[in-house]
Structure 1
């Protein structure tokens, strides 16, 4: 590389970092209550994109769906099945309390390869949006055009599971689009998620769990707390929560998990390699072992349930007339919302506790971990992350991509970030941040992927 070329590459990288910082400064926090959302921040971000990515906006056609979800189309050179690459620019709240750097300042710390960009959305998921548009910006400057149409879907209400994503899918279906590849947030390049495996894994989601909000509700006569009955509403509710906690859903190694373990087996040390290679014998005890480990390993092998909210009376000296607990349920593929709710009812086993399903979505379809589209995606990962082993998995969270299963058989979930456990822990938490080399590598990944589409 000549000195001039090296200087040009450095300038491009610095410009890419500045664009990400600019996006992080928009406080695009989506909230369930529309009146509580600062829509001006969303509008300002959308208005800023053409100025931040001028070449990209010369080659992309943009329309807004459901008000503020941006759907871009990059026309291909010839007819064929399109691809859809997703990101969302709404973020979860961050008030700044306890943050090392303000969540909406886009501050940069460190030098050289140790530089870090701080801010809400750096990982989830303005970093992906910036790397996607940055890749188009780079390729457009080189005169590149994809073989087939490419859509960029940038959602504005993913964090609140709003109706915009289904509206985009409905729009594309009305136009006869059946994407060969859909790629959204999900797995990343990680280490230490499976016992005995020391190599980095590029975990690519081929499905995602269903999600349900289930409320346990107890109604009893109220009154003064100085004269409590033998069993109060809150006591009955607490008993139900304790029973639920003692009865987790059954664990099993499903077909996707088997593929994952088969892929990592050659890279595992003893005795784990033998365990992963002989799942016909070891499957059940392995599922039990992972379930007891808790956290990510347990979530891999079962439907999960977690009580996340509790509500009682409005005052400390008043008996609760209505006590409630919200249970967040993530339904594993192969199961159903109905089965998960049935398990909860059996665990609670109290006719005085009502079990109400407030919201529910079934697990997604499972996309193939083989074939042309999988191989295309795997080859791109191998080009940019040659140190990583590509493996399928079931995404534990929910994303907009699940709606695309209605029009595509190739829906995958992968963010091209190499992340430490500490960095992954900042998702939806304090001090969300991304290392500059990680972000720039994601830009390289998206440029490589676009060249294959």
Structure 2
């Protein structure tokens, strides 16, 4: 008897009929996402005001007069759009926020389709909307808006208040977006629980989906190195130049391996994940972890060290190096930018100590350390009614789904809510498309050829619709 082909993740979905690809609602969501991508909100400079005004016009065109829109600018052009859907009984029911960001990273590299075209392209198994921001994260904004106004068109009114937030500047740390709003207009954005990007991805393990319940701290740091300069035709002792001192630092940073920490967040992840207990036990043994992941990578072909090790350690990434401006001049200065991500309880003092540990006392004594950003790790509890609601609705859409809490290595605007005691979860369900590998999915955001499948766009619409409907 021929072996049955495995059921794909897409075939497992139980979407509401009105949200299936090919429906009028899907066409509306696609068109809205395309319009959003075609507004260039590359940050810097951002210019989110253009997209905020376009979306405000879209909301008003839907004809629900009780829905309020507010645009707040942290500075000219840096706009945040707040859409308020008032509840019928807000005093007795929790309020929900549905958040995304308007800005995108620069569209570098060579693209198959122009990055701000929003082209709809047929692949072997699905159609995809292409463009910068398609995956990160304009599709989430389009999904939230489509879900909300589908409900309103059906005559629905929530019991609790609903806020849809589309914010500026997330890609540069959120300082001109949600952080500014939280400091200056907290009442305008305050909710009991907010859903955001950062989780929802289907893992390549049974029926597991990750939910972001926290995110590592972000400590961007500039190292400035000084040394002997001069004319390129008469180089000084290489070891005394800033460039070669920096080269030694870069070599040490490349070799540096931060100590592993098996903390409660790491333990919670591997308690929930659908792996055999024996493997879970081994993954908690620090001295075995790196070797086990290397072996598993060879078997699965998935970059597991890149995913798992950041959950159990602080990390240092070199993101920029600069020295000199002239071909025939040896600059007396060089600079290195570090993107440092930290576990709970780590502050600037510990970060500086980690830099010293990485490059050594001698080089550390010759460098100027300049903090560019100091954002500590934030977490949200999992024993809440909101967490339970997310898990239940995910099971409705993908029967058998298992929710796995994750301390994300990436940074999102959720931290500004968590810092103020507001529940914030990163979750918008997203499955592996039949046309893409897991490595493809991991690399779509911030890279050339960014795109989102129509299945995942409508999965986001369906999920938001069901959460809003119970609000």
TM score, norm. by length of structure 2: 0.84
Aligned pair partner of 1:127 in 132, 139, 159 = 139
Tell me the residue number matched to 2:216.
209
Aligned: 1:184 with 2:196: yes
1:395-451 Cα shifts (integer Å, max 9, x gaps): 111111111123334111123222443123110000000110110111000001111
Q: Cα distance 1:400–1:114, how it changes in 2: closer, same or farther (>3 A)?
A: same
Q: Cα distance 1:434–1:178, how it changes in 2: closer, same or farther (>3 A)?
A: closer
Tell me the residue number matched to 1:195.
none
Q: Cα distance 1:215–1:353, how it changes in 2: closer, same or farther (>3 A)?
A: farther
8 Å contact kept, 1:65–1:164: no
| Superposed CA RMSD | 2.6
Q: 1:354: Cα distance to partner?
A: 1.3
8 Å contact kept, 1:56–1:133: no
Aligned: 1:55 with 2:57: no
Within 5 Å, give how 1:195-206 maps onto structure 2. 198-206=205-213
Tell me the residue number matched to 1:117.
129
1:276-311 Cα shifts (integer Å, max 9, x gaps): 1577xx432354447866312221211110111111
Q: Helix, strand or coil for the counterpart of 1:125?
A: helix
Within 5 Å, give how 1:239-278 maps onto structure 2. 239-264=248-273, 267-269=274-276, 273-277=277-281
Q: Helix, strand or coil for the counterpart of 2:377?
A: coil
Aligned: 1:418 with 2:462: no
Q: Helix, strand or coil for the counterpart of 1:46?
A: helix
Q: 1:172: Cα distance to partner?
A: 5.1
- More deviation in 64-73 or 49-58? 49-58
Aligned pair partner of 1:19 in 14, 28, 32 = 32
Q: How many residues align?
A: 429
Tell me the residue number matched to 1:76.
87
Q: 1:26: Cα distance to partner?
A: 1.0
Aligned: 1:138 with 2:150: yes
8 Å contact kept, 2:229–2:236: no
Within 5 Å, give how 1:283-432 maps onto structure 2. 283-289=285-291, 294-348=305-359, 349-350=361-362, 351-419=364-432, 420-432=438-450
| CA–CA separation in structure 2 for the residues paired with 1:434 and 1:7 | 15
TM score, norm. by length of structure 1: 0.87
Tell me the residue number matched to 2:51.
45
Aligned: 1:64 with 2:66: no
8 Å contact kept, 1:66–1:167: no
Q: 1:317: Cα distance to partner?
A: 2.6
| CA–CA separation in structure 2 for the residues paired with 1:255 and 1:29 | 37
Bigger relative contact order, structure 1 or 2 (CA pairs below 8 A, ≥6 apart) = 2
1:129-188 Cα shifts (integer Å, max 9, x gaps): 00000001110011111121111110121112232212322355457x853212211013
8 Å contact kept, 1:82–1:150: yes
Aligned: 1:100 with 2:73: no
Which 5+ residue runs of structure 1 have no aligned equivalent? Answer: 193-197
8 Å contact kept, 2:268–2:405: yes
Aligned pair partner of 2:165 in 148, 153, 159 = 153
Within 5 Å, give how 1:437-452 maps onto structure 2. 437-452=455-470
| CA–CA separation in structure 2 for the residues paired with 1:258 and 1:409 | 23
